[in-house]
């Protein structure tokens, strides 16, 4: 049975998500739908990519992933349909595809939006295309193939001889803080040495924990979460709110010095010795 996931920045306070699901289930096909998130922040593509790539990998082959992020940031006459890891990612041509995939997928189609202007008209075009693919059409039959696309890359941690600096990718519902440092990157730079994680100027953590229960209630910790990203957390507390930590925002690079004043709220450093 075909499966379509929805990941959006729309929220669920109005009719849009319900209407999109209605469009899907109005097709004469047995299609399942799954919600990943409808609360992606429009100005934080890194956050959105983190959510998408770490959720998509658990879905079966031939799943269709519709990603609606900052759809109306600029005028566009097409969406992208990419075949990646034997799944389809359908999204605006605004850079989110390469952030999710980590590169340019080998198979990408330009899907024309025709006269679609609003969200419901656009999603109808996307769902019609999915129906055609399920019915046996190839991407090349419904899309213009392998044209130039907008590319964006995930921020990488900065590396020095005895240190690395990461940015806050994501703050979850419990105000745990996820950093753009993977376990592999951390261990590659650590080389078996002792370390000190420093945030908010002088708060430090010098050990890695297995999970939240590894420390007493009210204590903070660092660990590598189920996506293998470095996470700062507090047992039964909110580390982001307590220390004023903030998620990285794509607008930072457009704000000059004003953004620099907030930089230490959005980064952490690891020192090795």
pLDDT tens, position by position, 157-205 = 999 999 999 999 889 889 999 999 999 999 999 999 999 999 876 789 9
Ordered by where they begin, the domains of the chain are 3-145 (3.40.50.10790), 158-272 (2.40.30.90)
Instruction: Say how far apart CA 241 and CA 164 lie, in whole Å.
Output: 24
Share of the chain above pLDDT 70, in %: 93
pLDDT of 99 reads 96
Tell me the H-state helices in 102-250.
119-134, 139-142, 183-190, 239-243
Asked whether residue 76 carries a pLDDT value surpassing 70, the answer given is yes
- Coil vs helix vs strand at 222: strand
Instruction: Say how far apart CA 262 and CA 148 lie, in whole Å.
Output: 35
pLDDT tens, position by position, 224-237 = 999 999 999 999 88
The helix or strand, by DSSP H or E, that contains position 147, with its residue range, turns out to be: none
pLDDT of 254 reads 46
Q: Whole-prediction pTM value? A: 0.89
- Coil vs helix vs strand at 39: coil
Q: Tokens representing 81?
A: 């349909």
Instruction: Count CB atoms within 10 A of the CB of residue 81.
Output: 26
């Amino acid at each position: 049975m075909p499966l379509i996931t929805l990941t959006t920045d729309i929220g669920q306070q109005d009719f849009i998500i319900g209407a999109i699901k209605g469009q899907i289930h109005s097709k004469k096909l047995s299609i399942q739908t799954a919600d990943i998130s409808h609360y992606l922040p429009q100005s934080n593509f890194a956050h959105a990519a983190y959510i998408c790539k770490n959720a998509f990998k658990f879905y079966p082959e031939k799943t269709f992933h519709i990603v609606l992020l900052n759809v109306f940031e600029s005028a566009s006459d097409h969406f992208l349909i990419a075949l990646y890891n034997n799944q389809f990612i359908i999204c605006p041509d605004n850079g989110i595809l390469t952030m999710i995939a980590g590169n340019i997928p080998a198979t990408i189609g330009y899907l024309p939006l025709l006269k679609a202007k609003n969200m419901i008209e656009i999603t109808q075009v996307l769902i019609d295309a999915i129906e055609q693919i399920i019915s046996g059409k190839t991407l090349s039959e419904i899309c213009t193939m392998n044209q130039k696309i907008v590319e964006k890359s995930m921020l990488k941690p900065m590396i020095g001889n005895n240190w690395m600096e990461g940015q806050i990718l994501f703050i979850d519902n419990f105000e745990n803080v996820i950093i753009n440092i993977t376990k592999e990157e951390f261990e590659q730079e650590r080389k078996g040495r002792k370390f000190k994680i420093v945030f908010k100027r002088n708060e430090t953590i010098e050990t890695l924990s297995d999970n939240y229960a590894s420390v007493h209630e009210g204590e903070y910790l660092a660990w590598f979460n189920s996506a293998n990203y470095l996470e700062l957390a507090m047992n039964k507390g909110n580390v982001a709110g307590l220390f004023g930590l903030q998620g990285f925002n794509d607008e930072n690079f457009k704000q000059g010095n004003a953004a620099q004043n907030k930089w230490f709220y959005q980064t952490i450093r690891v020192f090795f010795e």
